[in-house]
Amino acid sequence: MRGRIAGLLLLVLACTASAQSPVPPIEATPTADPPPAETVVAGLSSDSVAITASFDGSDILIYGAIKRETPIPPGPPLQVIVTVEAPSRGVTVWRKERKAGIWVNAESVRIGAAPGFYAVATSAALDDILLPEWDSRYRISLSHAMRAFAGQIAVESAVPFTEALIRIREDQGLYRLDEGSVSLIDQTLFRADVNLPANLVEGAYKTRIFLLRDGQVIDVFVAPINVRKVGLERWLYRLAFDQPFLYGLMSLAVAVFAGWGASAAFMKLRRP
């Protein structure tokens, strides 16, 4: 995976030459004007991540180039934002309150979908290169990561709850904003390294690459990353969910055998 970084330029050239990346862009360019002057061509160092027993996080290299038919337009330079997000799951955020002297979970907000992991890498400070209306349209920044409240909201304002969710996940390294971590050469070549943490869940992850000029999104490229458990991990996980009774019996057998084995072994050790 890493070895390919050295051959970045070569790869990019190869990519632009064939102009065919493994995954075609699925979102059309936002501007309704004639065909965009600049489009993204990109690739990933790997389009799947295998979770093995010794899985300890993974680095994904996202690289690409900007394809254009015309010379580089004048004005503010081109910018790139890369996002990687895990599949969304529902979460409940609880606020603790002191009741009868002890701290208990008092109020909650249920959030229908929040990604378990969300990383945003940019080529410059996010606020400088992205206008708010384009941010909310494409849901780029961390505050847009979660969607849809589930059920009725019983609290006065859900804002502190969603802020808390982002803050806690940022502290855990699950939500990240890395400003300036996308390197952009001559407004044409770019690369970003995104580190996927060890605590990944399975699912279809999504990578998005945004091309920006003047705070506006001019092109989007979307590619999936398939994260799945393999080998023993996969087998155990499937067994636990498909054959829970058998799995439970197996766990017990391991425990009983270990308990019996240890006492028998040590008894032998003591009285040889």
CB 260, min distance to other proteins, A? 6
Measure the CA–CA gap between 182 and 38, rounded to whole angstroms: 18
The alpha carbon of residue 171 and the mean position of all alpha carbons in its chain are separated, in whole angstroms, by 15
Q: Within positions 85 to 144, which residues make up the interface with other proteins, using CB under 8 A?
A: 89-98, 101-105, 108, 110-112
* Helix segments in 53-204, DSSP class H: 126-129, 132-138, 159-171
Residues 6+ apart with CB under 8 A from 127: none
Of the pair 189, 201, the CB lying nearest other proteins is at 201
Q: Which stretch binds other proteins (CB under 8 A): 10-18, 36-44, 46-54, 120-128?
A: 46-54
Q: Which of 245, 268, 271, 272 is in the footprint of other proteins by CB under 8 A?
A: 245
Contact of 205 with 84, CB cutoff 8 Å: yes
Of the pair 220, 227, the CB lying nearest other proteins is at 227
Of the pair 2, 98, the CB lying nearest other proteins is at 98
Our finding on whether 20 is near other proteins (CB under 8 A) is no
CB 201, min distance to other proteins, A? 5
Of the pair 68, 110, the CB lying nearest other proteins is at 110
Pair of tokens at residue 269: 């050790």
Measure the CA–CA gap between 43 and 63, rounded to whole angstroms: 6
CB 25, min distance to other proteins, A? 31
**Strands of the sheet with 48-51, listed across from one edge:** 48-51, 216-229, 203-213, 79-85, 118-122, 175-178
Of the pair 4, 110, the CB lying nearest other proteins is at 110
Q: Which of 180, 199, 214, 226 is in the footprint of other proteins by CB under 8 A?
A: 199
Q: Within positions 49 to 78, which residues make up the interface with other proteins, using CB under 8 A?
A: 51-57
Measure the CA–CA gap between 219 and 27, rounded to whole angstroms: 9
CB 45, min distance to other proteins, A? 21
Residue 191: half-sphere exposure toward Cβ, Cα within 13 Å: 17
Short-list 191, 190, 227, 233, CA closest to 57: 227
Of the pair 18, 268, the CB lying nearest other proteins is at 268
Residues facing 104 on adjacent strands:
97
Pair of tokens at residue 127: 């606020």
Which element (helix H / strand E) includes 79? Answer: strand 79-85
Q: Which stretch binds other proteins (CB under 8 A): 7-15, 34-42, 45-53, 138-146?
A: 45-53
CB 97, min distance to other proteins, A? 8
Q: Within positions 143 to 162, which residues make up the interface with other proteins, using CB under 8 A?
A: 150-151, 160-161
Short-list 26, 25, 30, CA closest to 40: 25
Residues that bind other proteins (CB under 8 A): 51-57, 89-98, 101-105, 108, 110-112, 150-151, 160-161, 164-165, 167-169, 198-202, 229, 232-234, 236-237, 240-241, 244-245, 247-252, 254-256, 258-263, 266
